[in-house]
Chains A and B, each alone.
Chain A
Amino acid sequence: MGEKSRAVALHERSSAPAPHVPAQRANPDPAPEPGTGEPHPVARFAEFCYRRLAGDYEVDEFGFDREFTDSLLLPAARAVYEHWFRVEVTGAERIPADGGALLVANHSGTLPWDMAMTQVAVYENGRRLRGLGSGLLFGTPVLGVLARKAGQTLACGPDAERLLRGGELVGTWPEGSAGLGKPFAERYTVGRFARCGFVDVAARVGVPIIPVSIAGAEEAHPKLAEVWPLARLFGLPYFPVTPTFPILGPLGAIPLPTKWRIDFGEPIEAGPGCRFALAERVRGTIQRTLREMLEERANPFTG
């Protein structure tokens, strides 16, 4: 590429005068005039790298890194969302346009793909979801950091309350790791909610509970058996045996390309009353919706 064809985006920082021959510019994609229009994509990417290298970005008190999430994590997750799981969303109009709400969903899939996909589904509908994860997640190298950067935090009362009071949408999977690692035979039976604290939090802050039913995730990693001595060795809640893991090694982490459907249900007001009854009502709603979704579905892979 000759000097004449170089695009020049003017910028106050550039002290060295760039070769600039506007009259003879032969570039088919003309560079924007100084101060107008969009900067060159390469320059924009470089600016991103510059800021990441200089540490010039904002992180909130939970560790949520908006720029990192929007430019790297969400596009990657969206590719999986659109092309791998082909997620179909129903009831998106029930996601509140503003203000806090607690989204409660069924948990499954051996690896927490459902958390990532719900996060994308909510983002596609104009809001952000702040997921609540287990202590095990935040203690895991790399994954814990990515989870915090994506806006997730520890599943505990004070963290959830703080986020809700800030007007955020908070997602919780109260089945916990028992739900995540449920055996394939028990798929689509929503387990006991190990923690009913979410009901108290929603009642205290005064936000509605939105039951979220996720179909498709439960077949993504069919857990056929588990090896408890290995689980104990690695300090994990379970060590799964799926059709692809551990036989295929790390490739076993690739989920089966099931067709997903995520349904956002009718909001439930968390008023005063028995927490267990309310938690049971949320669980029952999710279970019923799941059954309906499964009846409509012909095949886990085509939907």
Chain B
Amino acid sequence: MPSTVLVTGASGYLGSHLAAQLAAQPEIDRVIGVDTALSTAQLRARLGGAEYIRADVRTPLIAKVLLEAKVDTVVHASLTAHPPGPSGRPLHKEMNVIGTMQLLAACQRAPLVRKLVIKSTAAVYGSGPRNHAVYSEGMPADVTLPRSGYAQDNAEVEAYLRGFSRRRPEVDVTTLRFANLMGPGVDTVLTRYFALPVVPTVFGYDARLQLLHAEDALAVLRRAVLTDIPGTFNVAGDGVLTLAQAIQRAGRVALPVPEQVIGPVSKFVRGAKLVDFGPEQLRYLNFGRVVDTTKLRTEFGYRPKFTTREAFDDYVRGRRLGRLLDPDKLVSAPLRAIGLALPART
């Protein structure tokens, strides 16, 4: 059982809630959250009983914290898909990749560290027309991944992680490959995308999406900290929604754009600071990705409470997305006008 836990990315949604929940556990003596964000009253309230240190994981300060606080468990939850500030891609990559390298180097020198939990992403499997329909953990990572971007960052991080476990074999390493987060309180590229009134899609494509509710993500992280289950696990809700279906369920209007002009459209959406709509997201929104979660249920011992569909519906309810396309008005009303009604739903 861990006694002192360090959580990176503690100003983010997952990081802050995880730190607060761990701090509330009586078995854990001390939880230290680390991030680069300013320590505001709002953030301190969210962190609850956890301490907060404003530090950059790329600096030697992290090594000092690890040693002086006698940290035995490190949760690395700071890998992000889009930078919070107006920084560009190079800085972002440096935060993700160089940050992890520094953190791993610090862990290697800290003899008390016994466990490492890393939040990775299912994006490491890539997505495209030649990708397998369903990925399980053992399948080789996609070689057609773009040279840069979030997925590549994570693939590099996982490679460093393998090196780390060779050098410190006694440390339990748990790698969690999360599907896209969804939930009322989450702010990601995808949650912003579905909140657009008119959702641009690429004509002739429809991705298979698999989502993970933020509550399930937190429960999995918590379980990874509190029990010793090393290994790599896909984490996602059961079932699949297609992109078109998700847009319909959110009551939005899909705007299919031909492939040839999606470039300017995504530039506009990006420029208007609506959604960070990069080529990686475009590929994902054309083809999607599904992972196999058998190992999560059997070896890790966790069954997600929300299916993909429930996670998405919870997000739609929580965000109070108003229906622009209402099937009640479009179908039921004209039907009533001619004296018919919909048959009872089964």
Contacts and interface: CB of A to CB of B under 8 A. Distances in A.
Interface of A: 3, 6-14, 16, 18-19, 35, 39-40, 42-44, 46-47, 49-50, 52-57, 59-63, 65, 135-142, 144-145, 148, 153-154, 156, 158-159, 162
Interface in B299-346: 325, 327, 330-332, 335-336, 338-345
Interface string B170-204: 00000000000000000000000000000000111
Contacts of B130: 135, 138-139, 154
B128, B287, B342: residue with the most chain A Cβ atoms closer than 10 Å: B342
B240 interface: yes
Contacts of A42: 335, 338, 340
Contacts of A138: 129-130, 287
A3 to B, nearest CB: 7
Contact of B341 (A3, A8, A49, A154): A8
A10, A14, A140: residue with the most chain B Cβ atoms closer than 10 Å: A14
Contacts of A137: 129
A55 B340 CA distance: 22
Given A53-B325, A145-B205, A11 B342 contact: yes
A154 B248 contact: no
A51 B327 CA distance: 8
A153 B288 CA distance: 13
Given A61-B239, A154-B131, 7 more contacts: A7-B340, A8-B341, A11-B341, A53-B325, A53-B331, A138-B129, A144-B205
A276 to B, nearest CB: 25
B336 A16 contact: yes
A297 B206 CA distance: 42
Given A9-B340, A43-B340, A154 B205 contact: no
Nearest to B210: A61
A59 B204 contact: no
B245 A153 contact: no
Contacts of A3: 339
Contact of A142 (B204, B332, B342): B204
B208, B248, B339: residue with the most chain A Cβ atoms closer than 10 Å: B339
B82 interface: no
Contact of A158 (B129, B134, B327, B332): B134
Nearest to B291: A61
A177 to B, nearest CB: 13
Nearest to A153: B133
B249 interface: yes
Given A43-B335, A53-B327, A62 B133 contact: yes
A145 B206 contact: yes
B94 interface: no
Contacts of A52: 248
B139 interface: yes
B208 to A, nearest CB: 5
A14 B133 contact: no
B79 to A, nearest CB: 26
25 contacts: A8-B340, A9-B340, A9-B343, A11-B341, A13-B332, A18-B339, A35-B344, A40-B343, A43-B341, A46-B332, A46-B340, A47-B343, A49-B330, A52-B248, A55-B241, A55-B245, A59-B240, A61-B290, A63-B240, A139-B129, A144-B204, A144-B205, A148-B206, A158-B134, A158-B136
A43 B343 contact: yes
Nearest to A139: B129
Nearest to B343: A39
Nearest 4 pairs between A and B by C-beta? A141-B204, A55-B248, A6-B339, A139-B129
Given A55-B246, A158-B132, A46 B342 contact: yes
B129 to A, nearest CB: 3
B133 A57 contact: no
Interface string B120-146: 000000001111111010010000000
Contacts of A11: 341-344
A56 B244 CA distance: 11
B242 interface: yes
A61 B8 CA distance: 33
Nearest to B334: A46
Contacts of B106: none
A194 to B, nearest CB: 15
B129 A55 contact: no
A245 B335 CA distance: 45
A8 B343 CA distance: 10
A61 B206 contact: no
B259 interface: yes
A3 B340 CA distance: 12
Contacts of B285: none
Nearest to A48: B331
B103 interface: no
Contact of A144 (B129, B240, B290): B129
Contact of A18 (B129, B133, B136, B336): B336
B217 interface: no
B240 A54 contact: no
B203, B327, B335, B344: residue with the most chain A Cβ atoms closer than 10 Å: B335
B133, B205, B240, B245: residue with the most chain A Cβ atoms closer than 10 Å: B133
A159 B132 contact: yes
Contacts of B343: 9, 11, 39-40, 43-44, 47
Contacts of A154: 129-133
A12 B129 contact: no
A9 B240 contact: no
Contacts of B339: 3, 6-8, 18-19
B290 A59 contact: no
Contacts of B287: 138
Given A59-B245, A63-B208, A46 B335 contact: yes
